[in-house]
């Protein structure tokens, strides 16, 4: 990470559109409505222009307090959460089917299960299945996946 991302802001700025700092009370009108990252004007006369959340707490334990329902979820680092989501969705991505490793070959985007695109070509010493591309004759091995 490149230093604190919330310098000049009262809560962490969004990370590629992800802003998780909002009221977590599902029946509250502010549910899912992100807090304003800008510092808020002080004084009651400007109350109408103020954000619906108040930032409160010690600097190492900040939370936003919802002015509608009083819920006060801790302030989260959007970047860390996005990284977490990406890690999880990476995990959920189906295994990509191996294809011809020759980047100039038309089979580059054709998976090895495609009929007639490849032929099996024995096994490597480590027991991986080898294939030969029928278009460019490139041979390549596909490590066997023990979980499948
Ligand atoms: Zn609320
Ligand atoms: Zn090929």
pLDDT at 96: 76
pLDDT at 145: 58
Q: Which residues of 43-74 are buried (b: 16+ CB within 10 A; e: fewer)?
A: eeeeeeeebbbebeeeeeebbbbbeeeebbbe
Mean pLDDT by 10 residues, the chain (148 residues): 62 92 96 91 66 90 94 94 87 80 94 93 92 96 68
pLDDT at 40: 78
Q: Ligand 1 centroid to 128 CA: how many Å?
A: 56
Q: Ligand 2 centroid to 20 CA: how many Å?
A: 45
pTM recorded for the entire structure: 0.56
């Amino acid at each position: 990470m490149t230093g604190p991302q919330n310098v000049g802001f009262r809560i962490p700025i969004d990370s590629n559109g992800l802003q998780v700092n909002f009221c977590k009370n599902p029946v509250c009108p502010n549910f899912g409505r992100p807090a304003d990252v800008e510092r808020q004007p002080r004084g009651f006369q400007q109350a109408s222009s103020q954000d619906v959340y108040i930032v409160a707490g010690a600097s190492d334990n900040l939370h936003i307090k919802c002015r509608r329902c009083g819920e006060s979820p801790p302030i989260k680092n959007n970047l860390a959460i996005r990284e977490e989501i990406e890690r999880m969705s990476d995990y959920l991505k189906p295994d990509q089917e191996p294809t011809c490793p020759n980047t100039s070959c038309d089979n580059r985007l054709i998976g090895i299960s495609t009929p007639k695109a490849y032929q099996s070509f024995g096994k490597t010493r480590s027991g991986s299945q080898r294939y030969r591309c029928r278009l460019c004759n490139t041979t390549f091995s596909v490590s066997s996946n023990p979980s499948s």
